[in-house]
Amino acid sequence: MRILIIDDEPLQLEGSVSILRKVMPDAEISAYSWPYDALEEAATLDFEVAFLDIQTGGMTGLELAARLKKIKPDIHIIFVTGYSQYAVDAFAMHATGYLLKPLTEEAVRRELNFIYSEPQPKSRIEVKTFGGFDIYVDGRPVRFRRAKSKELLAYLVDHRGLSVTTGEAYAALFEDAADTLSGKSYFRTIVHEMLNALKNVGADGIIERSRNSYAVIPDKFDCDYYRFMEGDQQAVNAYQNDYLPSYGWAEMRNAELGFADLEF
Burial of 211 (0-12, 13-18, 19+ CB in 10 A): exposed
pTM over 0.85: no
* pLDDT one-digit tens code per residue, 156-183: 999 999 999 999 999 999 987 777 788 8
Backbone angles phi, psi at 32, to 5 degrees: -140, 150
Query: What are the residue ranges spanned by the domains of the chain?
Result: 2-116, 125-263
Q: Is 58 left (phi over 0), alpha (psi -120 to 50) or beta?
A: left
Amino acid at 252: M
Considering the chain, what is the average pLDDT of its residues?
87
Helices (H), 27-138: 35-42, 61-71, 87-92, 105-116
Q: How far apart (Å, rounded) are the C-alpha atoms in residues 50 and 11?
A: 18
Architecture of domain 2-116 in this structure = 3-Layer(aba) Sandwich (3.40)
Question: Which CATH number fits the domain 125-263, given the four candidates 3.10.20.30, 3.10.20.90, 1.10.287.980, 1.10.10.10?
Answer: 1.10.10.10
- Mean per-residue pLDDT, 195-217: 95
With 60 as the cut, is the pLDDT of residue 80 above it?
A: yes
